[in-house]
């Protein structure tokens, strides 16, 4: 029987994996700890590890996993910026869940935006305390304003379509424009600088990589309108958070809705409510009335969790049954050098 060492397991995930595993019959060893160089040895005896966004698979962890005889890293997420693909190349195959519910993420991005622009976070607390004053709750219509979507992949496109539905003008930016999709929507591809200059709302949906690291920085923040709202459900390091804090402090932008945070691996997915926060940047962000933070929960819908469990276990099953790895990612295919990858012939990358 194939054993999967399942790192950083949370109760809400176990429910879905256990249910779907009734069909597959893997031995799933749930581990509370995150995967990194120090914890990788806990995978001993397993053939595969299952990892999530804040598990860190760097060269050290990869070497330890190889020593344990791990043949497959099954990411139960879409992003793979936490894996050193070059370090694992030729040793351990890496598969992911390229899409589970792009609607879940897009809808969360829009929910955060509506919440901020209509001060729902303040109104909720006020009414719970019996305070029905409206003072300070005035919002802004989104109708007629301009949304800038960075990254028009699966999630960015749905976000653009939802925001078009409320009557926003849509600007988009992508390294690979999809004009066949954009034209009927009336979406206009433009440079990142122009998007930042013209948009009232900027929503980030590009993957994190060397080219997109700190895409939103001092320079791009300076281009933005004073009332611009930034929404980030992509990855934390798409934004230079210290520059964002400065822009918020000096009221150079209108607000921020964040589901992800640059240093989130130290805090997210755990309860720190009884301790003093050590991360001064996160603590400062939480002081702004025009900042809403959720703890990387955009994916957390029934549909998305089912799809994640289904695709992850199917990835593992196909790899061990047939050597097939359709959702494999390696540093070559990540850099679009797919010709060198055997994946294009329907088998694993190496
Ligand atoms: P996708 O691969 O369908 O789309 C990404 C798009 O970004 C592509 O069109 C690509 O060409 C574009 N892109 C790449 N580099 C760019 C650049 N420098 N500038 C502008 N555009 C660029 O990915 P999908 O499924 O839409 O997901 C996007 C990201 O959302 C993921 O990479 C992941 O980091 C994040 N995500 C967050 C979740 C959450 O729970 N908060 C859950 C799932 C994904």
C-alpha of residue 206 to centroid of ligand 1, in Å: 4
Same-domain status, 155 and 247:
yes
Same-domain status, 8 and 96:
yes
Q: What is the CATH number of the domain that holds 89?
A: 3.40.50.720
Per-residue pLDDT of the chain (350 residues; tens, 9 = 90+): 999 999 999 999 999 999 999 999 999 999 999 999 999 999 999 999 999 999 999 999 999 999 999 999 999 999 899 999 999 998 999 999 999 999 999 999 999 999 999 999 999 999 999 999 999 999 999 999 999 999 999 999 999 999 999 999 999 999 999 999 999 999 999 999 999 999 999 999 999 999 999 999 999 999 999 999 999 999 999 999 999 999 999 999 999 999 999 999 999 999 999 999 999 999 999 999 999 999 999 999 999 999 999 999 999 999 999 988 889 998 877 765 555 666 655 567 77
Let me know if 235 is a catalytic residue.
Answer: yes
Domain assignment present for 233: yes
Kindly report the protein residue whose alpha carbon is nearest to atom 14 of ligand 1.
206
Same-domain status, 187 and 207:
yes
Q: Of the residues 255, 271, 293, which one is the last residue of a structural domain?
A: 293
C-alpha of residue 298 to centroid of ligand 1, in Å: 13
Same-domain status, 121 and 71:
no
Encode the chain in three state secondary structure.
CCEEEECCCCHHHHHHHHHHHHHHCCEEEECCCCCCCCCHHHHCCCCEEEECCCCCECHHHHHHHHHCCCCEEEECCCCCCCECHHHHCCCCEEECCCCCCHHHHHHHHHHHHHHHHCCHHHHHHHHHCCCCCCCCCCCCCCCCCEEEEECCCHHHHHHHHHHHHCCCEEEEECCCCCHHHHHHHCCEECCHHHHHHHCCEEEECCCCCCCCCCCECHHHHHHCCCCCEEEECCCHHHECHHHHHHHHHCCCCCEEEECCCCCHHHCCCCCCCCCCCCCHHHHHHCCCCCEEECCCCCCCCHHHHHHHHHHHHHHHHHHHHHCCCCCECCHHHHCCCHHHCHHHHCCCCC
Same-domain status, 287 and 144:
yes
CB of 207 sitting under 6 A from ligand 1? yes
CB of 234 sitting under 6 A from ligand 1? yes
Looking at ligand 1, which atom is closest to the CA of residue 173?
20
Same-domain status, 39 and 173:
no
Kindly report the protein residue whose alpha carbon is nearest to atom 30 of ligand 1.
234
Same-domain status, 80 and 147:
no
pLDDT at position 346: 59
Domain assignment present for 350: no
C-alpha of residue 216 to centroid of ligand 1, in Å: 15
Same-domain status, 265 and 281:
yes
CB of 76 sitting under 6 A from ligand 1? no
Kindly report the protein residue whose alpha carbon is nearest to atom 19 of ligand 1.
174
Same-domain status, 129 and 156:
yes
Let me know if 264 is a catalytic residue.
Answer: yes
Structural domain harbouring 307: 3-100+301-345
Q: Could you give the number of structural domains in the chain?
A: 2
C-alpha of residue 273 to centroid of ligand 1, in Å: 31
pTM of the model: 0.92
């Amino acid at each position: 029987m194939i054993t999967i060492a399942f790192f950083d397991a949370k109760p809400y995930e176990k429910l879905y994996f256990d249910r779907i595993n009734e069909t597959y019959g893997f031995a799933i060893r749930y581990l509370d700890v995150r995967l990194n160089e120090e914890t990788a040895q806990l995978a001993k005896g397993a053939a595969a590890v299952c990892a999530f966004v804040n598990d860190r698979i760097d060269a050290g962890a990869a070497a330890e996993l190889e020593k344990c005889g791990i043949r497959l890293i099954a990411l139960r997420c879409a992003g793979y910026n936490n894996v050193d693909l070059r370090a694992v190349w030729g040793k351990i195959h890496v598969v992911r869940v390229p899409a589970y519910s792009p609607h879940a993420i897009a809808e969360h991005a829009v929910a955060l935006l509506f919440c901020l622009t209509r001060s729902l976070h303040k109104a909720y607390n006020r009414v719970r305390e019996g305070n029905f004053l409206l003072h300070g709750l005035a919002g802004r219509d989104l109708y007629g304003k301009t949304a800038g979507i960075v990254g028009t992949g699966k999630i960015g496109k749905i976000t653009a379509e939802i925001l078009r539905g409320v009557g926003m003008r849509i600007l988009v930016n992508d390294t690979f424009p999809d004009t066949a999709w954009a034209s009927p929507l009336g979406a206009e591809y433009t440079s990142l600088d122009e998007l930042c200059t013209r948009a009232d709302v900027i929503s980030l949906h590009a993957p994190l990589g060397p080219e997109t690291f700190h895409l939103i920085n001092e320079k791009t923040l300076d281009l933005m309108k004073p009332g611009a709202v930034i929404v980030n459900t992509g990855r934390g390091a798409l934004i230079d958070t210290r520059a964002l804090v400065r822009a918020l402090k000096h009221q150079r932008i209108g607000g921020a809705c964040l589901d992800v945070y640059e240093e989130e691996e130290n805090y997210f997915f755990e309860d720190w409510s009884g301790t003093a926060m050590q991360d001064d940047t996160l603590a400062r962000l939480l002081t702004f009335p025009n900042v809403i933070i959720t703890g990387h929960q955009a994916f957390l819908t029934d549909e998305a969790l089912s799809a994640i469990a289904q695709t992850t276990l199917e990835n593992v099953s196909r790899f061990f049954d047939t050597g097939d790895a359709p959702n494999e990612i390696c540093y070559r295919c990540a850099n679009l050098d797919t010709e060198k990858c055997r994946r294009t012939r329907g088998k694993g990358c190496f």
